Amino acid sequence: MAADIKNIVEFIAQALVDRPEEVSVNEVEGEQTSVLELRVAKDDMGKVIGKQGRTARAIRTVLNAAATKARKRVVLEIVE
């Protein structure tokens, strides 16, 4: 099975927030590294970041595991 890394972020973020319809992920592909820009509703920022950034860190760990399997590098940015 092929990993769909952009879709992982989307899926997790939508499950965490109050306004899933406002979740969007933009993938900026670089030569070796892809940057995933996650946008959520302003009020939902706290839900995807978490206390001391713990939720964001957990999402990054899951993404990196999938990326390693797919022999890619990804960086997750949560943008306002």
Partner 1 sequence: MREEVFEGKSEEEALLRASEVLGVNISDMQYEVLEQETGLFGLFRKSVKVRVRVPDEVQGIVYRDPAAASNHAAAARRRDPARTVVEDAGGDGEGPEPAGAMEGAAVRKGPEAEAALRGILERMGVDAQVTCDEDGEAIRLNIATEERDVVIGRDGEVLSALQFVLNKIVNRFPEGRKRIVLDAEGFRDRRTEELTRLAERLADKAVRTGQVIRLAAMNAQDRRVVHMALKDRPGLTTRSEGEGLSRCLMIVPAGAARGDRPGTGRRSGGKRGPRPHPGEGRGPTA
Binding segment for partner 1 among 30-38, 42-50, 71-79 (CB under 8 A)? 42-50
Member of 8, 23, 25, 38 binding partner 1 (CB under 8 A): 8
Member of 15, 27, 29, 79 binding partner 1 (CB under 8 A): 15
CB neighbour class for 5 (10 Å; exposed up to 12, middle 13-18, buried from 19)? buried
Task: Give the SS3 label for residue 3.
Answer: coil
Q: Which two tokens stand for residue 36?
A: 């995933």
Closest distance of CB 31 from partner 1, Å: 22
